[in-house]
Structure formats: C-alpha cells, structure tokens
C-alpha cells in the first residue's frame, strides 16, 4: 500500500501588510463574504505575490478583522495580507486601488515587514459611528437622554446561533447629537465598545426606540468613522499608531 501523499508545505511569508479600506455608496450593501471574494479577485488581478497556506487546499493568506455589518458604510475596515515576495507598499496600494470596484477604496497601507506582529483584531477595541435618522434633533436628543439614564437596555437580535438578548447600553461609551446636523434629519455620534457578542449600531437604534420612542425611519444611514483602541478619554485611536 502506497503512503498517502502529503500536502505541499508553503514557504513562510516574507512581508506582511495591513490595509485600511472604506465601503462607500452602494457598496455598503456588500456582505463580508462578497467583499472577501471581491478582494481575492482584486489581489489576483493586481498580481500581488501572495503567500499561501499549506495543506491540500492552499488559499491566500488574508486575515480580516472587525467587519462592519452589511448595509453600513465605513471609513475604517481592516485586513492583513502576507506576501511571498517583498514589494513596495505604495505599489501594492496602487494596484489594489485599480483592481477594486469603486466604493471599495484603499485608504492606507502599512508595512509590517516579515515578522508576525500583534494580532490586528486585538487592537480593534471600539468603533465610532454616525447614525443619520429620520427624526428631529429635539426628538433624538430626548431619546438619547432617556437611553443614557438606563443602567441596562436589553434588545433582541437574530444571530447565527438563534435569537440572542443583548445589553446594548453596556456597549455604549458615548452617545450624543453630532456637531454637524443634516437638514431635516438628526445625526447621532456614537462610540461603541466591542463586546462579545457584538453590539451593533442598529441594536442601539432599537434600544433608543424602546426606551425613548425614537423612530429612526426606514433606512437610517450608519457610517463607521473610526475603529481602533479605546482611549482613556473615551475616544477611538488609530490601530496603526497605538
């Protein structure tokens, strides 16, 4: 009997790059699975010399961290790629920018060199969001005050593990009206601590409706502005510059 064929062992990566990208416009409706497929196609078209995993089904070494919910816009999505050759980061950034569809945009790329550094996901402790809702500023302010006065606000959301009950108040670091208000609507500024299970901005909107009667409208626009370490003053730092 012949010995079972062993899978090919891939060489270790020689360079690691961390990427910040944005989901804008209609591309905010791209799911995480759709984005990962689009990004792998873009890497192939851009001829980025990716490092691959070992095993019978090698795949490019791409690590995603802290993806925003489908339907949310974002200026602060992150991932890490590992390369089999050393390439100038600006060359990779330019090639990916051309290969990705408009609305999935490269914002910044950081070179980590060849050695593995601290897990990027570990530095994503909180997010800052804006929430544009179809309500007056006065109604939004009153709902925020009632929400923040609570020690606990329980909401329910369907997850992959079934219906879960979440305390959305526990995740809120700060919540207030934003300084720049759109005409006719209200814009809320929200800082969310990343908990397990994760509390999302739409969970907070559910909490605002249940505690303060806020009607956010049919299609509130949720936009992540920043994602990173949570500072002592309650603001969100830059994960590339901890």
Longest dimension (CA), the chain: 79
Number of Cβ atoms within 10 Å of the Cβ of 233: 6
Same domain (yes/no): 113, 130: no
49 falls within a domain:
yes
Last residue of a domain, one of 81, 105, 122: 122
Same domain (yes/no): 111, 20: yes
Rounded CA-CA distance 70/150 in Å is 28
- Locate 49 and state its tokens: 């010399």
User: In this predicted structure, what is the pLDDT of residue 10?
Assistant: 76
Residue 131 belongs to domain with CATH number: 3.30.70.3190
68 falls within a domain:
yes
Last residue of a domain, one of 95, 122, 149: 122
Q: Quick one: how far is CA 131 from the chain centroid?
A: 15
Task: Concatenate the DSSP letters of all residues of 103-172 into one string.
Answer: TEEEEEEEEEESS--S-GGGG--EEEEEEEESS-HHHHHHHHHHHHT-S--EEEEEETTEEEEEEHHHHE
The alpha carbons of the chain give a radius of gyration, in whole angstroms, of: 21
User: In this predicted structure, what is the pLDDT of residue 2?
Assistant: 46
Same domain (yes/no): 109, 130: no
Last residue of a domain, one of 98, 122, 146: 122
Same domain (yes/no): 57, 133: no
- Locate 146 and state its tokens: 């009632």
Same domain (yes/no): 19, 103: yes
134 falls within a domain:
yes
242 falls within a domain:
no
DSSP state of 230: B
Rounded CA-CA distance 56/63 in Å is 19
Same domain (yes/no): 166, 69: no
Residue with tokens 């300084």: 179
Instruction: Please give the chain's pLDDT, 242 residues, in tens.
Output: 445 666 667 788 999 999 999 999 999 999 999 999 999 999 999 999 999 988 778 889 999 998 999 999 999 999 999 999 999 999 999 999 999 999 999 999 999 876 556 688 999 999 999 999 999 999 999 999 999 999 999 999 988 888 889 999 999 999 999 999 988 899 999 999 999 989 999 999 999 999 999 999 988 999 999 999 999 999 999 999 86
Same domain (yes/no): 153, 222: yes
Same domain (yes/no): 110, 132: no
Strand partners, 79: 19, 64
* Count: domains in the chain: 2
DSSP state of 50: B
- Nearest residue to 76 via CA among 238, 224, 232: 224
Beta carbons of 125 and 229 less than 8 angstroms apart? yes
69: three-class secondary structure by DSSP: coil
240 falls within a domain:
no
53 falls within a domain:
yes
Rounded CA-CA distance 45/182 in Å is 40
Same domain (yes/no): 138, 213: yes
Same domain (yes/no): 188, 221: yes
Residue 75 belongs to domain with CATH number: 3.30.70.580
6 falls within a domain:
no
Give the structural domain span for 24. Answer: 15-122
pTM reported for the whole predicted model: 0.90
Number of Cβ atoms within 10 Å of the Cβ of 88: 9
Rounded CA-CA distance 239/42 in Å is 24
174 falls within a domain:
yes
Same domain (yes/no): 76, 129: no
DSSP state of 29: G
Same domain (yes/no): 86, 158: no
């Amino acid at each position: 009997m012949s010995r079972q064929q062993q899978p090919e062992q891939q060489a270790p990566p020689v360079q690691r790059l961390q990427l910040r990208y944005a989901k804008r416009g209609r591309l905010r409706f791209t799911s995480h699975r759709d984005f990962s497929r689009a990004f792998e196609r873009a890497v192939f078209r851009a001829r980025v010399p990716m490092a691959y995993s070992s095993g019978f089904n090698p795949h490019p070494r791409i690590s995603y961290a802290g993806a925003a919910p489908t339907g949310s816009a974002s200026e602060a999505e992150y991932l890490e790629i590992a390369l089999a050759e050393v390439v100038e980061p600006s060359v990779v950034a330019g090639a990916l920018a051309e290969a990705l569809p408009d609305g999935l945009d490269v914002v910044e790329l950081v070179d980590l060199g060849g050695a593995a550094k601290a897990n990027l996901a570990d530095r994503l402790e909180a997010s800052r969001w804006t929430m544009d809702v179809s309500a007056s500023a006065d109604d939004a302010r009153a709902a925020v005050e009632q929400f923040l006065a609570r020690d606990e606000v329980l909401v329910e959301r369907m997850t992959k593990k079934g219906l879960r009950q979440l305390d959305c108040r526990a995740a809120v670091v700060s919540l207030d009206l934003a300084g720049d208000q759109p005409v006719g609507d209200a814009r809320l500024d929200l800082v969310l601590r990343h908990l397990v299970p994760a509390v999302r901005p739409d969970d907070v909107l559910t909490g605002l409706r249940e505690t303060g009667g806020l009607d956010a409208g049919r299609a509130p626009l949720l936009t992540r502005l920043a994602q990173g370490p949570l500072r002592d003053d309650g603001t969100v730092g830059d994960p590339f510059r901890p």
